[in-house]
């Protein structure tokens, strides 16, 4: 069974890929489960790789904002929980899946009219969402497409 971390990575890859990850030291790591945060020894090894990584800060922030499992920027789930405490409301997995679906819709070629019906909004709102999302992603330096 695919781990939650790998599943999320696949979801992210399918819709928006944080471009900094392609510069990460974990790219091409032989053990795909190394960063899953499920095995103490592997976690220590993964954190060691992260400590030298040139995109550690961006990755850690991504993890704090988006991930509830896995090692991101040298932080495991407990480290992120500490960093979030008092700063940010944690978003449940179910809510995140809804958000992912929304983002996939926004980035898709689906007609605005169809999405307006699906979300109970006007077409104008859909255009506004698309514009806002494009700007947000641009500001964060993300790409909706995984780099080839």
Least gap, CB of 41 to ligand SF4 (angstroms): 17
Quick one: 63 or 106, whose CB is closer to ligand SF4?
63
Q: For the purposes of burial, counting CB atoms within 10 Å of the CB of 93, is it exposed (0-12), middle (13-18) or buried (19 or more)?
A: exposed
Taking the C-alpha atoms of residue 103 and residue 18, their distance in angstroms, rounded to an integer, is: 14
Total count of residues recorded for the chain: 148
Quick one: 29 or 104, whose CB is closer to ligand SF4?
29
The CA-atom distances, in angstroms, between 44 and each of 37, 47, 131 are 9, 5, 41
Least gap, CB of 15 to ligand SF4 (angstroms): 19
Is the Cβ–Cβ distance between 73 and 63 less than 8 Å?
A: yes
Least gap, CB of 111 to ligand SF4 (angstroms): 37
Least gap, CB of 25 to ligand SF4 (angstroms): 4
Quick one: 16 or 24, whose CB is closer to ligand SF4?
24
Sites of contact with ligand SF4 (CB under 6 A): 21, 24-26, 35, 49-50, 53, 55-56, 59, 71-74
């Amino acid at each position: 069974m695919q781990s939650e971390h790998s599943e999320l990575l696949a979801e992210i890859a399918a819709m928006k890929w944080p471009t900094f990850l392609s510069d990460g030291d974990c790219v091409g790591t032989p053990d795909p489960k190394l960063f899953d945060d499920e095995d103490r020894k592997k976690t220590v090894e993964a954190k060691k790789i992260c400590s030298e990584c040139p995109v550690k800060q961006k990755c850690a922030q991504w993890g704090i904002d988006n991930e509830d499992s896995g090692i991101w920027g040298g932080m495991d789930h407990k480290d992120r929980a500490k960093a979030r405490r008092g700063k940010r409301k944690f978003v449940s997995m179910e809510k995140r899946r809804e958000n992912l679906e929304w983002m996939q819709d926004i980035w898709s070629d689906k007609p605005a009219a169809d999405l307006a019906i699906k979300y109970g909004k006007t077409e104008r709102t859909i255009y506004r969402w698309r514009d806002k999302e494009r700007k947000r992603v641009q500001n964060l330096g993300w790409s909706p497409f995984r780099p080839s």
